[in-house]
Amino acid sequence: MTRLGTVLVVGVVVVLGVFGVWEWVDPASARAVNTLETVENTGPADNRIDLVVIGEGYRAAEGEAFRNHVDNLLGGLLATEPWASYRGAFNLYRIVTESVESGADHPSAGLYVDTYLDATYDYLGVERLLVVNEALAISVAADLLPEVDLVVVLVNDTLYGGSGGSVATVSATDVAVGILIHELGHSFAGLADEYTDPLPGFTPGDNEPNVDFDFAFDQLKWNAWVEPTTPLPTLLSDAVTDYLPVGAYEGARYLETGIYRPAPHCMMGSLEYDYCAVCAEALVLSVYDRVDPIDTVSPPESPVTLDRGAPATYPVPFEVATVALGGDAGQTVTWWLGDQEVGSGTALTLDLAMVGPENGTHDLRCEVTDDGTWVRNDPDHALASERSWTVVVTGVSSDAGVDEDGGLGPDGGPENGADPRGCACGTSGPSSASGRALVLILVLILLLANRRRRCRTRRTAWRTPRGPW
């Protein structure tokens, strides 16, 4: 496959994605019984990117061929960075469909077959432009997997072909992985094409994260990746590798001049390369746009009360379940009690010794931060997440003495009005009616004033995957 051929396919694909020209519905196609199969499950669907591959042009007897093709396709995708490093953020599925015949239509050759999603080459007269009934594909995926985020259609045909948009379509060829990786750069991360081949009629712009009309350092949107010694604009003769230095190389988004890309080469310019650093960063940020690094925490509710008079209430085990990533990606988990760091790792045991001798309230926070090197520009702190609890320390230790004035002993807390006689007999004190009332009031005040904080407001609804842009 020549670069030009690749570019032509991808370029036309973008146009189609923008205008959504192949969204037709053929109810007659909805004849088969479809089956959802899990390829890889890494966690709860509402905190994962749920990617599904739908088979098209596979007859009932070709189910195993489809499964093998999916394994190869997803295996190639997940062997590519940064997908490999964030594998744990994805749930992967396949949908087995049954077509009457194999393959796809080839109108230019007068060949037509009866397939479930009506796949056809030659769209708009471009042989390699392979499209399907996109609306039906989305419907099939959503019916079986309501949480679906990304839809890929794998067409059982050996002729090179593909297309992008809200559904990525690829044929089962040796270069299917490359096509998919490129198209997901559009649909998942909102990346622009970085090649210069003209695309007449396409609206100029530089909104995508990997193209910029400006090349001056202060204005360059990816300047976090640019060394001070790198000339701007940057010439290909300045390049020391296919991807470095990151600078401002003229030519991208179907224009040879007046717009700049970050690196000498990139997957978004030609399928023979990897993503450049800026495109990889955009992909990782897109992961965190959809996935909270924290899955669950325990205890789930706040406030948490430690009653010195009730040993059963302490120590309190805290735990955070994080999204297990993969490859080179990792996380740092840090626990803070007020301004003091009190632990690291996913578990913490909070005991009275950590809160000190005074009764009162404390803010306990757990911070989870991506400690990888894929992202340098994270103004919204998307790579970090935290949970916090209000910890209420109250009561009197069971061995607490009683002051002459009726207050608490030297190891006790403040003179909070608890009945000292009750403390002595072990049936009152913090457990007395007045003590419980005070605690209740305090808890209510805290509930109103200190609602559980989160460093980021996570959306509860998944965003519809963007089109090519």
Residues interacting with Zn ion, by CB under 5 A?
210, 266, 268, 276, 279
Give the residue from 343, 351, 346, 361 showing the smallest Cα distance to 450: 361
Judged by CB, which is closer to Zn ion: 150, or 276? 276
Distance in Å, CB of 261 to Zn ion, minimum:
6
Handedness of CA 24, 26, 27, 32 (dihedral sign): negative
Q: Residue type at 50?
A: D
- Find residue 298's DSSP bridge partners: 319
The answer to whether residues 233 and 247 touch, using CB atoms and an 8 Å cutoff, is yes
Distance in Å, CB of 273 to Zn ion, minimum:
9
Judged by CB, which is closer to Zn ion: 264, or 429? 264
Locate all alpha helices (DSSP H) within 291-371, ordered by sequence.
Answer: 352-355
Judged by CB, which is closer to Zn ion: 67, or 221? 221
Distance in Å, CB of 275 to Zn ion, minimum:
6
270 membership: H or E segment, kind and range: none
How far the first Cα of the chain sits from its last, in Å, is 25
Distance in Å, CB of 272 to Zn ion, minimum:
13
Judged by CB, which is closer to Zn ion: 70, or 252? 252
Distance in Å, CB of 268 to Zn ion, minimum:
5
Distance in Å, CB of 3 to Zn ion, minimum:
15
Q: β-strand 304-307 against 384-394: which pairing, if any? A: parallel
CA 34 to the chain's CA centroid: 27
Distance in Å, CB of 278 to Zn ion, minimum:
6
Give the residue from 148, 137, 175 showing the smallest Cα distance to 55: 137
Distance in Å, CB of 329 to Zn ion, minimum:
19
Judged by CB, which is closer to Zn ion: 285, or 337? 285
Two tokens at 298? 């325990």
Judged by CB, which is closer to Zn ion: 177, or 266? 266
Cis peptide before 233 (omega within 30 of 0): yes
Judged by CB, which is closer to Zn ion: 169, or 210? 210
Cis peptide before 315 (omega within 30 of 0): yes
The alpha carbons of the chain give a radius of gyration, in whole angstroms, of 29
Cα 83 to Cα 327: distance, rounded to the nearest angstrom: 9
Judged by CB, which is closer to Zn ion: 263, or 320? 263
Cα 437 to Cα 443: distance, rounded to the nearest angstrom: 10
Cα 428 to Cα 416: distance, rounded to the nearest angstrom: 13
Distance in Å, CB of 49 to Zn ion, minimum:
20
Residue 30: CA atoms inside 13 Å, Cβ hemisphere, count?
Answer: 13
Judged by CB, which is closer to Zn ion: 121, or 222? 222
